[in-house]
Structure 1
């Protein structure tokens, strides 16, 4: 080997970022990146979704406890319990709107720290509750915090992460939500509603402390003209050996095209209205998969399968979601968003067709009215419907559905929402998506029983199956594959100037 050949590797090592053009330049930069502190910042941020999960899971063990409460001032009727469970969605919708405004005014980090306060105050009010209104206020406050969290955490993570790990760390948002739900279910097996509220207040308290030591996102700092702070944030996130000036230059160059604040007139820009349409439709279709319908039926199905303790069965369901959401996080950056969404949609579509067949066969023998009674809590009919030899069909369908949802349509809409909006419209677009999601969740929850009365249980699940098929079609034709792309490349896709 001659001297020229020997010097070539050293030259490439020293000047890789400066001399290699295009995509290889980006690869050379990423080779120098260390992800340890990025994962640490992600861990601090996802304590927010963990808190959000505890809020969602809290009502399941707390409501039966409150309905049996000896204090008449706190004892809940069936109607009051329904509002105690669902009022969170109202607070979350308001939180989504508030979060979209706050996140652009004070930044991602401070917004995340800010939303820890209503979590803590809400659970504190419930711990000290002396009447129904204190319980409702506590739930609304924790719902408000959940709405802000569901908006700001995906943004914070996507703006910190680079394209090689953004799918994995972004999927941790949904992973921590389902982990929080499972945590609340498990804690509810051993704790009363007051002690459970104390347990639920721990994650947001820890998040508030941890976030004090985490940086603001470099992209937000650069839009505010804080180049030095952005470089310091990137140096924290990328490690000491990465030439962060190169990444700052790249982000700044893309940001110059996005100068100015968002206004409603910007909705004429295809770079804004196209991702907004994709984000809103994904949130709408996520809720209309029927996930709430399946979870509504879960306890009754387990009772029909002769599980002695349906509380433990709900923990099993939650654990299934955690496991397969974790699998989705691990494979998101390898398999891609579209592949997982399509496989998820097909699995849910097939499982709900089978669910419909299960209920059709059941009601042919016993009548739909007995099923409705079982679902409304009339325990005397549970053992009568449906026949035991069909129960395996329902259990298998529920398992396939939950697995499919956890692999794709659970985590991916939140991840894609955080990736597709240009910087100036990120707060507005995310707020509209979050509001859509929570509004649809409220509609599905409140109208589900009416749908069963109108078109029967089988018809309801066949309707949801058709909507899952629509999910697959929408994904194929409209959802962009964002795997391995920078945020700037994804946004350029909607302007038809880049991203093949």
Structure 2
């Protein structure tokens, strides 16, 4: 089909003009795109297994037969948190390699530290080998959390990019749930064997998947880019038309980002939006809420903490799947706003619960006292409020602030800045995760338990305000249209919505 065939056509029944983009998308076949996405999201699935592994493994290792492998309270804390340090390092490393060796090879490379990390854990003879394995797992997770959203966004088209991008978070929480369930059956070494399977399959499948067309065009590999588009869009689509759209947006681009360009609004505006999305995601207090999930369930008469973790995982998976299904219909901003409001309400209710019950804090350990050490409370019947608040909070997070920051990060950066900017965002996210997790006990000490959760509620309100005023809606827009939006947003009167020229 020639270029002129893509001029907006007049539909006599609807008396509306159909855009060239919609005409093109009608002939696109998504079968191979879904296959490429499945191969890529085995990385986030592996990431989820890493995050979920610590909960059942720590329970086993606290009572390990080998005294060299026994985890005390401090070692258990590091066993869980060292993953965030490795992930931050992985964010830096991933931001460097993703623009040098490509999205596909970077993703395949992730499988190596995943498997090596679990192999080190399986063969561990002391605690330091366990820490080393977890660090390698974190390193792979950091690279994965950067590369997979970029790979999916650059291989997808605007009609399904939101749904497929949300599959990243869906697979993470699926991996967490899988670890919890498998941990109820398998001993920690066999659980590590089980967790090492997804990255092996990812490595095998990615061998048969294409590099992203945008990266290939940026590297002047034009025939390979057309071949990738044929694979991803099917034989009926006009691959040359999409090729020209991508190529035209990159005509004036350098192959790499220069420091001086950070003063350009088309660079620093999406860069700041991406950073603040990552900061606000972690300052919702999601890790703190999850940290005390078992205690809250026990207060609500759920005595089996493993079952409690599975219930939490099921809630995450179900509502993350709901978000993925409605992402390209409801839009990113609407879901972020609904998510932020929901979390603000639930965190406020958490604070109310802790204020009423006045759960004491052990100042020596800076931990909530376990339920068995608490004095009899006349308001035990309010345990349902804590349970409902936690479920509501997780639901809200899964609908918006869980998957969308990663999705938007992969959409808003121009091609030449995507690797570096995404790397900074990943480092910011994991750095904030480590900070919130480590400082949570101090906050509980200084602000009291209810004050801490009301602080999180305040951050959730800030999330909503930030979304309303600064986050653009990217639903239905190509990556090239999003890039032109930021280029034109420096012109007075165009901030806040996509200019008509890129609708």
Common topology (TM > 0.5): yes
Structure 1 pair 315/371, CA: closer, same or farther in 2 (3 Å)?
A: farther
Question: Does structure 1 residue 450 correspond to structure 2 residue 437?
Answer: no
**Aligned partners of 1:378 and 1:344: how far apart in 2?**
30
Q: Aligned partners of 1:289, 1:27: CA distance in 2, in Å?
A: 38
Given candidates 313, 322, 326, the residue that maps to 1:327 is: 322
Residue 12 (structure 2) pairs with residue 20 (structure 1): no
What is the aligned counterpart of 2:410 among 406, 412, 418? 418
Q: Hey, what's the Cα distance between the residues in 1 that align with 2:220 and 2:146?
A: 24
CA shift digits 1:86-107 (9 cap, x unpaired): 0000000000000000000000
Written as runs of structure 1 = structure 2, the 5 A alignment for 1:23-62 is 24-62=19-57
Give 1:492 shift.
1.2
Q: Which residue of 2 is the match for residue 400 of structure 1?
A: 392
Residues 221 and 386 from structure 1, CA distance in 2 versus in 1: closer, same or farther, beyond 3 angstroms? farther
Mapped contact 1:16–1:25 kept (Cα < 8 A): no
- 1:293 deviates by 1.2
Counterpart in the other structure of 1:247: 242
TM-score under structure 1 normalisation?
A: 0.94
Residue of structure 1 aligned with 2:475, choices 480, 483, 488:
483
1:436 aligns with 2:436: no
Deviation at 1:18, TM superposition (A): 2.4
1:256 to 230, 239, 251: 251
Aligned-residue offset at 1:149: 0.1
Q: Does the C-alpha gap of structure 1 residues 445 and 188 become closer, same or farther in structure 2, counting only changes over 3 Å?
A: same
User: In structure 2, do the counterparts of structure 1 residues 143 and 324 end up closer, same or farther at CA, with 3 Å as the change threshold?
Assistant: same
Paired with 2:431 and 2:6, the residues of 1 have a C-alpha distance of 51
- Partner deviation per Cα, 1:125-165 (whole Å, 9 max, x = no partner): 10000001100100000000000000000000000000000
List alignment gaps of at least 5 residues for structure 2: 9-16
Tell me, yes or no, if the aligned pair for 1:278 and 1:479 is still in contact at 8 Å: yes
| 2:159–2:328 CA contact under 8 A, matched in 1 | yes
Partners of 1:197 and 1:150 lie apart in 2 by: 20
> Structure 1 residues 94 and 438 mapped into 2: Cα distance closer, same or farther (>3 Å)?
same
Q: Which residue of 2 aligns with 1:281?
A: 276
Q: CA deviation at 1:368?
A: 2.3
> Hey, what's the Cα distance between the residues in 1 that align with 2:385 and 2:378?
11
Q: Which residue of 2 aligns with 1:148?
A: 143
How many correspondences in the alignment? 484
Q: CA deviation at 1:451?
A: 0.3
CA distance in 2, matches of 1:253, 1:203: 38
Q: Distance in 2 between matches of 1:481 and 1:246?
A: 25
Q: Residues 299 and 371 of structure 2 are in contact (CA less than 8 Å); yes or no, is this contact kept in structure 1?
A: no
Work out the CA distance in 2 between the residues paired with 1:169 and 1:143: 24
CA distance in 2, matches of 1:37, 1:387: 56
Counterpart in the other structure of 2:353: 358
1:118 corresponds in structure 2 to 113
CA distance in structure 2 between the aligned counterparts of 1:296 and 1:29, rounded to whole angstroms: 48
How far off its partner does 1:376 sit?
A: 4.9
After superposition, residues 176-187 of structure 1 pair within 5 angstroms as: 176-187=171-182
Q: Secondary structure at the match of 1:46?
A: helix
Contact 1:17/1:28 (<8 A) preserved: no
Change (3 A) 1:117 1:17: farther
State the 1:369 CA deviation.
3.1
Q: Indicate conservation of the 8 Å contact 1:288/1:467, yes or no.
A: yes
* Alpha-carbon distance in 2 for matches of 1:390, 1:428: 48
Q: CA deviation at 1:297?
A: 1.6
TM-score by length of 2: 0.94
Match of 1:340 in 2: 335
User: Partner residue of 1:230?
Assistant: 225
Given the superposition, is the C-alpha separation of residues 376 and 138 from structure 1 closer, same or farther in structure 2, using an over 3 Å criterion? farther
| Cα distance in 2 for residues equivalent to 1:427 and 1:15 | 34
Is the 2:295–2:371 Cα contact (8 Å) retained in structure 1?
Answer: no
Q: In the TM superposition, what whole-angstrom CA distance separates every residue of 1:443-463 from its partner, at most 9, and x where no partner exists?
A: 000000110000100000000
Is it true that 1:219 corresponds to 2:206 in the alignment? no
What stretches of structure 1 of length at least 5 have no aligned partner? 1-13
Distance in structure 1 (CA, Å) of the matches to 2:76 and 2:185 = 21
